[in-house]
Amino acid sequence: MERMILIALIGSVTAIQMRAVRREYALLIGAATGIVLLVSGIARFTGLSDWFRRTCETYGVPTELFASILKILGIAYLSEFGVNLAKDAGQQTIAWDLELGGRIMILSSALPAVVTLLETGAALIREVGS
């Protein structure tokens, strides 16, 4: 974590210094710093992903639900990253459109989990009713 904080600090100070010279370079430095931090975070997520997968297998949770949750988290984080980049560039309309698109993708990715939940609830109701 200390390494990520150091990268963020160096990237921020460099972007602030470059903003006085060329705003475009400051934006590129900010984006590059964000990408490096994102990749570092993803690398640390691998161990957590394995733990979630083992837990799903232990309790009999379908792996499709786990995959849906990971996809939703990925869409949320990546769209938020893109929205912040667009806002930093002064493109509020693009940021809003990207945010809306991310929400629509999250909703469509969550539908299989909702269907599975409804099927499980219906099966429980049938079992209790018989």
| Per-residue confidence (pLDDT) for residue 105, from 0 to 100 | 93
Q: Please list, in sequence order, all residues whose beta carbon lies within 8 angstroms of the beta carbon of residue 116, skipping any fewer than 6 positions away.
A: 62, 64, 65
Question: Does any domain span residue 52?
Answer: no
Alpha helices in the chain, H assignment, sequence order: 2-21, 23-59, 63-88, 92-129
| Per-residue confidence (pLDDT) for residue 88, from 0 to 100 | 81
Let me know whether 41 and 83 are in one domain. no
Question: Does any domain span residue 120?
Answer: yes
| Per-residue confidence (pLDDT) for residue 38, from 0 to 100 | 81
| Per-residue confidence (pLDDT) for residue 79, from 0 to 100 | 92
| Per-residue confidence (pLDDT) for residue 101, from 0 to 100 | 93
Q: What is the pLDDT of residues 14-55, one digit of tens each?
A: 888 888 888 888 888 888 988 888 888 777 777 777 787 788
pTM equals 0.67
The number of domains in the chain is 2
Let me know whether 68 and 121 are in one domain. yes
Q: Which of 50, 63, 67 is nearest to 110 (CA)?
A: 67
Rounded Cα distance, 94 and 105, in Å = 16
Q: What is the pLDDT of residues 48-98, one digit of tens each?
A: 777 877 888 888 777 777 778 888 888 998 899 889 888 888 889 989 999
